[in-house]
């Protein structure tokens, strides 16, 4: 199924959560499912970017460079931000990053990271949700299902997914046809071979997908490029896209990741961004 850039731009408001993208020429009658990449059919490309750690206007510069690069790639149909958008979870930091991300020409969605939590606030995710919308979400009525998971446990680096989030995920999956391909997005890694920070109850979370067609789990938090396949699922983490933080694997390159999806495979590549 093919569709134009103009058609896809009109979908951002229909995704049911606060999109990072500015929406122009919205066509309210469009049915999102008609344009969602379909199982066993279309090829599509999307981007993920993580660990921006925006602190001030200067630190948002590399995010703007990443946005420029993504906008220049006509293949990219949407972007997912995998948490740690801010440094200390302050509204001002989250909003500064949003100004840069609003320049994306295609839809953009986000999940929170532990640095997007304001531990001084009564509502820990209040700043985040006021700027980016729900902390978890599922999108796509047909074809691929995209799930954004809130993997945060307060502001901890090593986390156990809370029972409330497990319950939400279980209820979400009960409504899903078991043959549908699923992509899961979260801040904290689920990679079986990650060098650090694997979600403590990752196996229990992944077990919820046992009778489903989970194809991809993309995460951030570990600032480094890790790509592995396990039991038919592609797991990734990506280097940070930040000038206020270094990569944990001591590599100098900062950037974002592309996923090229076909009927039979998912290919991924890291794109370097120079600030």
**The pLDDT of residue 160:** 98
Q: Report the 3 state secondary structure along the chain.
A: CCCCHHHHHCCHHHHCCCCCCCCCCCCCCCCHHHHCCCCCCCCEEEEEECCCCECCCHHHHHHHHHHHHHHCCCCEEEEEEECCCECCCCHHHHHHHHHHHCCCCCCEEEECCHHHCCCCCCCCCHHHHHHHCCCCEEECCCCCEEEECCCCCCCCCCCCCCHHHHHHHHHHHHCCCCCCEEEEECCCCCCCCCCCCCCCCHHHHHHCCCCCEEEEEECCCCCCCEEEEECCEEEEECCCCCCCCCCCCCCCCCEEEEEEECCCCEEEEEEECCC
**The pLDDT of residue 128:** 98
**The pLDDT of residue 275:** 73
**The pLDDT of residue 20:** 56
**The pLDDT of residue 33:** 32
**pTM metric for this prediction:** 0.87
Q: What is the pLDDT along the chain (275 residues), one digit of tens a residue?
A: 333 333 333 333 333 334 454 333 222 222 233 334 443 447 899 999 999 999 999 999 999 999 999 999 999 999 999 999 999 999 999 999 999 999 999 999 999 999 999 999 999 999 999 999 999 999 886 789 999 999 999 999 999 999 999 999 999 999 999 999 999 999 999 999 999 999 999 999 999 999 999 999 999 999 999 999 999 999 999 999 999 999 999 999 999 999 999 988 999 999 999 87
Sketch out the chain's domains with CATH numbers. Answer: 45-272 (3.60.21.10)
């Amino acid at each position: 199924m093919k569709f134009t850039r103009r058609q896809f731009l009109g979908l951002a408001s229909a995704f049911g959560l606060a999109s990072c993208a500015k929406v122009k020429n919205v066509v309210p009658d469009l049915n999102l499912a008609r344009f969602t990449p379909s199982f066993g059919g279309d090829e599509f490309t999307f981007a993920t970017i993580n660990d921006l750690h925006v602190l001030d206007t200067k630190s948002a510069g590399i995010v703007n460079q990443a946005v420029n690069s993504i906008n220049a790639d006509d293949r990219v149909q949407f972007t997912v931000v995998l948490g740690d958008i801010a440094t200390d979870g302050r509204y001002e930091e989250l909003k500064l990053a949003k100004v840069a991300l609003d320049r994306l020409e295609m839809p953009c969605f986000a999940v929170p990271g532990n640095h997007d939590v304001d531990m001084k606030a009564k509502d820990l995710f209040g700043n985040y949700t006021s700027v980016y919308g729900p902390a978890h979400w599922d999108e796509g009525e047909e074809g691929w299902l995209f799930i954004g998971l809130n993997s945060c446990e307060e502001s901890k680096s090593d986390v156990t997914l809370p029972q409330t989030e497990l319950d939400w995920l279980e209820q979400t999956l009960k409504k899903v046809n078991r043959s549908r391909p699923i992509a899961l997005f979260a801040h904290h890694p689920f990679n079986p071979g990650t060098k650090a920070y694997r979600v403590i109850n990752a196996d229990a979370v992944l077990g919820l997908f046992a009778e489903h067609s989970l194809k991809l789990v993309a995460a951030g938090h570990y600032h480094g490029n890790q790509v592995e396949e396990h039991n038919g699922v592609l797991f990734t983490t990506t280097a940070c896209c930040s000038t206020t933080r270094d990569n944990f694997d001591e590599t100098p390159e900062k950037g974002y990741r592309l996923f090229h999806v076909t009927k039979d495979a998912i290919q991924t590549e890291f794109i370097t961004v120079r600030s």
